[in-house]
Amino acid sequence: MDSSIVLIDKMRTGQKVFDVILWFITKERFRFRYSHGDKETFWFSFELAHAPYSFSPWGVSVVSSTPNKDMTKHPNSLCGSILQYMPNASDNAEILYVNGKALLDPYPQGIDYVPKAQWNNMLNTFPTHMTPRQPRTELNRTGDEKVYLECLVGLGATPLPDMFAGMLLRRHVPVASIARAI
């Protein structure tokens, strides 16, 4: 399961699932470690409540990493932040979510601790491409052992929609303003 977001239709889910989720996060998690994160809590809760659930038919995708020079060095293999498509079967592949903290905060430790870091680098991390939408499959991890887990090797690249840069910039401005004020 590769995910960065869980979608729940509260109207169709029913109270029983939410009761199980509450039990997991307020009681059971203190007794023993049962998962690697919150997404398994949702999955287990649906199972225990005997409620229907499904996973997106689309596998994980990523956006290109500008600092890694993805499009120059290996344009068929991207190594950026996770991107997920809307879980529908329409011919139009629509972006649902990009788990892009690194896009908003490329220097989480602050630029004072990174040699040669500059404020303009905050805006130079804009990705230009994404992995095309494709059915969920097992990723091939054989071969080059130097490849990071964030890399989707050989899955191709397609340009991001024009509106993506504007949406990311709207998120960048307040983050950069706060960072400069601190």
How do the domains of the chain map onto residue ranges? 10-48, 61-181
Among 61-75, 82-96, 108-122, 164-178, which is the least confidently predicted range? 108-122
Name the nearest CA neighbour of 43 among 10, 61, 17: 17
pLDDT category at 180 given cuts 50, 70, 90 is: low
Closest by CA to 87, choosing from 63, 41, 64, 54, is 54
Q: What is the pLDDT of residue 130?
A: 92
At residue 52, does pLDDT exceed 90?
yes
- Global pTM reads 0.74
